[in-house]
A and B are shown apart, each in its own frame.
Chain A
Amino acid sequence: MDDLNEKFLLTQISIGDDAAFSEIYAAYQPLLYRFVNRFLKSTAISEEICQDVFIKLWEKRQNLLYIESLKSYLFTLAKNQAFNLLKRSSLDNNIKAEILYSYIPEENTIEDKLHADEYMQYIEKVLNTLPLQSREVFRLCRQLGKTYDEAANDLGISRNGIKKHMVRSMKVLKYNVQRDFGIPLSIILAIIFNS
Chain B
Amino acid sequence: MEENILLDQLVERYIDNQASEKELEVFFFLLEQGKLDDILMKYMDKSQQTYITNNISLASQKPGKVKFIYNTRAVAAAAVVLVFLLAGIFLYNTRVLNQDTAVKYAQISTHNGELKSIELSDGSIVFLNSNSTLKYTDNFNGDKRMVELLEGEAYFDIKHDAAKPFVVKTGKILTNVLGTSFNIRSFKYINEVKITVTKGKVGVQSNYTEPAHIRQVILIPDEQADINRNTGSIIKNKVKSADILNWREGGLYFDNENFRDVSAILETKFGYAIKFANDDIPNYRFTAGFKSTENLIDILNALCLANNLKYKIANKTVLLKIAKNKLKPMIKKQTNPI
Contacts and interface: CB of A to CB of B under 8 A. Distances in A.
Contact of A160 (B61, B70, B103, B167): B70
B328 to A, nearest CB: 49
B69 A135 contact: no
Nearest to B102: A23
B56 to A, nearest CB: 7
Contacts of B41: 83
Nearest to B3: A122
Interface residues of A, number: 80
A103 B17 contact: yes
Contacts of B125: none
A123 B57 contact: no
Interface in A147-161: 151, 155, 157-158, 160-161
Interface in A130-147: 130, 134-135, 138
A122 B65 CA distance: 47
Interface stretch (B45-53, B190-198, B218-226, B232-240): B45-53
Interface string B1-35: 10100100110000111111011111011111000
A46 B48 CA distance: 15
Interface stretch (B113-121, B139-147, B274-282): B139-147
A195 B67 contact: yes
Given A15-B167, A23-B103, A194-B63, A35 B51 contact: yes
Interface stretch (B92-100, B260-268, B319-327): B92-100
A126 B73 contact: no
B66 interface: yes
Given A35-B48, A123-B23, A66 B207 contact: yes
B67 A135 contact: no
Interface string A86-97: 110111000010
Nearest to A131: B29
B248 interface: no
A174 interface: no
Nearest to A7: B148
B27 to A, nearest CB: 9
A17 B141 contact: yes
Interface in B145-181: 146, 148, 150, 167, 169, 172
Given A12-B141, A17-B142, A185 B91 contact: yes
Contacts of A126: 26, 29-30
A180 interface: no
Given A106-B16, A192-B88, A82 B44 contact: yes
Interface residues of B, number: 73
Contacts of B101: 19, 22-23, 26, 190
A86 B77 contact: no
Nearest to A87: B31
Contact of B32 (A15, A41, A90, A105): A90
Interface string A25-38: 11100110011001
B137 interface: yes
B141 A75 contact: no
A170 to B, nearest CB: 12
B330 interface: no
Contacts of A18: 141
A127 interface: yes
Contacts of A161: 69-72
Contacts of A63: 211
Contacts of B288: none
B210 interface: yes
Interface in B301-317: none
Given A106-B16, A195-B67, A169 B73 contact: yes
A152 B112 CA distance: 69
Contacts of B20: 105, 112
B29 A15 contact: no
B329 interface: no
A22 B24 CA distance: 37
B191 to A, nearest CB: 21
Contacts of A181: none
A86 B51 contact: no
A169 B77 contact: yes
Nearest to A100: B24
B61 A30 contact: yes
Given A23-B102, A189-B91, 10 more contacts: A12-B137, A23-B101, A83-B41, A112-B18, A162-B72, A165-B70, A168-B69, A189-B92, A190-B101, A193-B65
In the A-B complex, the 3 residue pairs with the smallest Cβ-Cβ separation, listed nearest first, are A26-B63, A161-B70, A90-B32
29 contacts: A12-B142, A12-B146, A16-B143, A17-B103, A19-B99, A19-B102, A20-B141, A23-B103, A26-B63, A31-B58, A39-B40, A76-B48, A79-B44, A83-B44, A87-B37, A104-B17, A105-B19, A105-B20, A106-B16, A126-B29, A126-B30, A138-B25, A162-B72, A162-B73, A165-B70, A165-B72, A169-B77, A185-B88, A192-B69
